[in-house]
Structure 1
Amino acid sequence: MPTRAATPSDLPVVAEIYAHYVLTSVATFELDPPDEQEWRRRFDAVVAAGLPFLVVERDAEVLGYAYCAPWKTRPAYAGTVEDSVYVSPTAVGTGCGTELLHALLDACRAARLREVIAVIADTGDPASVELHRRLGFVDAGRLVGVGVKHGRRLDTLLLQCSLA
């Protein structure tokens, strides 16, 4: 499956994929799906920071996206980013997530980043944690009860991948 740099024309599909998870799951703590204008703002910020924003395609259809954003704004955190990986519900289990995260880590290495942090909601489904561990992430901690969504109090798992 080809993975490539995202373009603004991909943002409607990105918004659609993410909206599914916002509305139907606790995988993200966002409560309302961002509109295309907000996705454009996020995309522009990622690109302006020199960070990767990728999509994966099959038969010219975007099936998922991944990007990195700065972990924190303080200068001492430069070189550390947080990843986001989302796959269309129709493509779950097809290898899209693995392809995206692998390509994202390669792009982070090329950008000379040092650390990639994954903040994963503990939904009870181990798929995202297992994906990250398969690609070199190690457990870095748990934040207990930090999110509330759909009537559930949720933990987040922190994983970290050192690139240097």
Structure 2
Amino acid sequence: MDIVAPIIAILFTWRFLLSLAISVVLAFLLAQHFGLVASFFTICIGVGFGAIWQGRWLSGLALFEPAQAQLVSKPIAFIGFAFIGAIWGGLVGQLFGSTLIGALVLLAGVTLTGAWFTLVLKLHAQLFKLILVAISLLIGFFSIYVYGLRQV
């Protein structure tokens, strides 16, 4: 009877586990040619895709079905993006050994997202929102260095 709970959990989360398994196999193949950084980011993308796929299924949406936009207050968005900036900027800065590269990767992400919305989706992203995201990512990233958490 102890085996039933894990089997039920696997049946409910198979979307996440499938994308994780595919990303691990792909990461193993990429590590042979491109190194550990490419394989690490491949696993991160697979985990993110699996979480989105599983979350959309749990909310009753198909994978590519458009969803209604949820409004998020600016302070909550700022705190969330600051946390993301601390994690991803710190990780990239640590992997490449440069604070500047970590900050530039975060800014490149915002720039590419704005370009994607404008050029591909034909939606004009509001400049204020992109600036808010960029500033909050950088504040979160540089908070690691202000509070001395990089040495931990």
Rg comparison, structure with higher value: 2
Q: Which has the higher helix share?
A: 2
Q: TM-score normalised to the size of structure 1?
A: 0.29
Q: TM-score normalised to the size of structure 2?
A: 0.30
